[in-house]
């Protein structure tokens, strides 16, 4: 009888070392729901509040606050004010992979223990077949068999847990890759926005010149010049060499008209008709022509309709990175006239006029005028607008001497 008790105790002690607690994974799938224009978001259907709502950025893109997405997924978000850097960190996926390895090792150990127990039970069955207390032992063996079955069920559940953990790791890997990709996209958008901000800051300097703010002194000098020296059109003339084909050089030149020279032109016209320009005339001129610059070009070609596809644009020197300013009106001479200057080639000349808004052109700036024909740039000319005022002042000064 003591021998039987000793064997039962041995089996019980061996089984008592086997763990009975399930390893139930606490990592469940995290579902975040956000709605455009709504500060309330949901983590697994539990409402939470954000500082700002998701917004739509055309065309068809939704910008969401990355902080609440990352924290909702268990990450930690830090902001470095010195470097203006966002750092997102979270527990590494390798931890779950190491846990799987531990579970697999534990399963193998339990399998070996179960196998050893089965062998001992079989040995006991053989030894105790003829014992008078076989029924009692058989009952205990039955209990142990049930315990073995329970352990085997747990082993199967561990296998299921491992499969579930592996699946979750794969899902987390995909989510992490998506988040990394989204973070990179956000970084690109941030850099783009920073560049746009810098461009806007640069443009701010130009936007301050939306009105030329012509002074009374400038108006008086323009009237004096118009009534006295307007016949000297060289004051309005700007030119640079222009090569036609491979034969020789011809001079395309431009006549530039600004709000100040508009006043001079009307002053000359009034004086020619026996009157003088009035303050009302000046106000009327500035209300119509105060926001424009006109560039009239004298060009050469080898056919009578060579100006058909010509157009021009200007850029403010120092702000070449901005978009060109295109004319709001183009007046190309449809039928070019034969030129007395070069009767053979080119034998036609024409006069084209391009009108531009001067909102983004500072009054004393230098502009680059570019002439384009059929998509090809054929002429570039730098025009210093301050020279017109300087030439007027010089003419008036000489007259005063």
Range(s) of the domain holding residue 99: 2-25+92-205
Residue 128 lies in a domain: yes
pLDDT at position 25, please?
A: 43
Both 188 and 244 in one domain: the answer is no
Both 233 and 341 in one domain: the answer is yes
Least confident of 311-320, 334-343, 367-376: 334-343
**Residue 270: count of CB within 10 angstroms of its CB:** 17
Please state the φ and ψ torsions of residue 242, each to the nearest 5 degrees: -140, 125
pLDDT at position 394, please?
A: 61
Please identify, among 185, 205, 225, the residue that sits at the C-terminal boundary of a domain. 205
Please state the φ and ψ torsions of residue 364, each to the nearest 5 degrees: -110, 25
Q: How many separate domains does the chain show?
A: 2
Both 121 and 143 in one domain: the answer is yes
Both 259 and 360 in one domain: the answer is yes
- CA dihedral of residues 168, 171, 173, 174 (deg, nearest 10): 180
Give me the percent of the chain exceeding a pLDDT of 90.
Answer: 14
Assign 28 a pLDDT band (cuts: 50, 70, 90): low
Please identify, among 177, 205, 233, the residue that sits at the C-terminal boundary of a domain. 205
pLDDT at 246 over 50: no
Helix (H) or strand (E) holding 378: strand 376-384
pLDDT at position 315, please?
A: 94
Please identify, among 171, 205, 239, the residue that sits at the C-terminal boundary of a domain. 205
- CA dihedral of residues 218, 221, 226, 227 (deg, nearest 10): 140
pLDDT digits (tens, 9 = 90+) for 29-68: 778 888 888 989 898 888 988 888 888 888 778 888 887 7
Please state the φ and ψ torsions of residue 393, each to the nearest 5 degrees: -60, -35
Phi-psi region of 48 (alpha: psi -120 to 50; beta: other; left: phi over 0): beta
For position 389, which CATH number holds? 2.60.40.10
Both 197 and 273 in one domain: the answer is no
Both 247 and 270 in one domain: the answer is yes
pLDDT at position 84, please?
A: 83
pLDDT, average across residues 254-281: 90
Residue 33 lies in a domain: no
Residue 351 lies in a domain: yes
SS3 content of the chain, % helix, strand, coil (to 5): 45, 25, 30
Both 189 and 266 in one domain: the answer is no
**Degrees (nearest 5) of the Cα angle 109, 115, 119?**
145
pLDDT at position 12, please?
A: 34
Residue 331 lies in a domain: yes
Both 234 and 198 in one domain: the answer is no
Residues 7 and 123: their CA atoms lie apart, in Å, by 11
Residues 266 and 263: their CA atoms lie apart, in Å, by 5
pLDDT, average across residues 3-9: 34
Residues 259 and 357: their CA atoms lie apart, in Å, by 11
Angle subtended by helix axes 385-400 and 216-228, to nearest 10: 70
pLDDT at position 157, please?
A: 82
pLDDT at position 346, please?
A: 75
Both 263 and 141 in one domain: the answer is no
Helix (H) or strand (E) holding 247: none
Residues 277 and 217: their CA atoms lie apart, in Å, by 15
Locate 377 and state its tokens. Answer: 């740039």
pLDDT at 233 over 60: no
- Average pLDDT over the chain, rounded to whole? 77
Residues 369 and 348: their CA atoms lie apart, in Å, by 22
Residues 67 and 78: their CA atoms lie apart, in Å, by 9
pLDDT at 277 over 90: yes
Least confident of 12-16, 209-213, 341-345, 369-373: 12-16
Both 123 and 189 in one domain: the answer is yes
Which of 271, 252, 254 has the alpha carbon at shortest distance from 263? 271
Angle subtended by helix axes 134-207 and 2-16, to nearest 10: 10
The residue written with tokens 């030119």 in the block is 239
Locate 229 and state its tokens. Answer: 């020296």
Both 220 and 289 in one domain: the answer is yes
Please state the φ and ψ torsions of residue 382, each to the nearest 5 degrees: -85, 130
Residue 71 lies in a domain: no
């Amino acid at each position: 009888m003591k021998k039987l008790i000793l064997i039962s105790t041995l089996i019980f002690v061996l089984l008592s070392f086997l763990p009975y607690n399930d390893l139930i994974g606490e990592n469940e799938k995290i579902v975040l729901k956000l709605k455009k224009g709504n500060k309330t978001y949901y983590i697994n259907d539990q409402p939470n509040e954000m500082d700002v709502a998701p917004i739509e950025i055309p065309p068809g893109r939704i910008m969401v606050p990355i902080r609440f997405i990352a924290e909702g997924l268990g990450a930690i978000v830090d902001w470095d004010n010195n470097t203006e850097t966002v750092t997102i960190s979270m527990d590494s996926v390798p931890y779950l992979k190491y846990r799987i390895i531990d579970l697999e090792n534990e399963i193998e150990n339990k399998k070996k223990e179960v196998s050893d127990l089965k062998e001992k039970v079989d040995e006991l069955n053989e030894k105790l077949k003829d014992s008078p207390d076989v029924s009692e032992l058989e009952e205990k063996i039955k209990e142990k068999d049930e315990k073995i079955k329970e352990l085997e069920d747990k082993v199967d559940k561990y296998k299921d847990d491992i499969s579930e953990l592996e699946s979750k790791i794969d899902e987390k890997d995909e989510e992490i890759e998506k988040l990394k990709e989204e973070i990179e996209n956000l970084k690109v958008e941030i850099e783009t926005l920073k560049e746009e901000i810098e461009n806007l800051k640069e443009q701010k300097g130009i936007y301050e010149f939306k009105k030329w703010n012509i002074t009374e002194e400038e108006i008086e000098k323009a009237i004096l010049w118009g009534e006295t020296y307007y016949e000297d059109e060289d004051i309005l003339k700007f030119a640079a060499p222009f090569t036609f084909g491979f034969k020789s050089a011809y001079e395309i030149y431009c006549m530039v008209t600004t709000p100040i020279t508009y006043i001079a032109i009307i002053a000359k016209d009034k004086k020619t008709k026996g009157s003088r320009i009035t303050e009302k005339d000046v106000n009327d001129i500035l209300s119509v022509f105060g926001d424009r610059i006109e560039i009239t070009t004298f060009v050469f070609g080898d056919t009578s309709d060579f100006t058909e596809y010509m157009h021009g644009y200007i850029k403010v020197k120092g702000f070449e990175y901005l978009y060109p300013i295109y004319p709001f009106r183009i007046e190309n001479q449809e039928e070019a006239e034969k030129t007395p200057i070069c009767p053979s080639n080119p034998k036609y000349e024409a006069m084209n006029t391009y009108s531009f808004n001067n909102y983004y052109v500072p009054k004393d700036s230098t502009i680059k005028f570019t002439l384009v024909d059929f998509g090809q740039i054929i002429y570039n000319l730098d025009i210093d607008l301050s020279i017109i005022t300087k030439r007027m002042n010089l003419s008036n000064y000489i007259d005063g001497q």
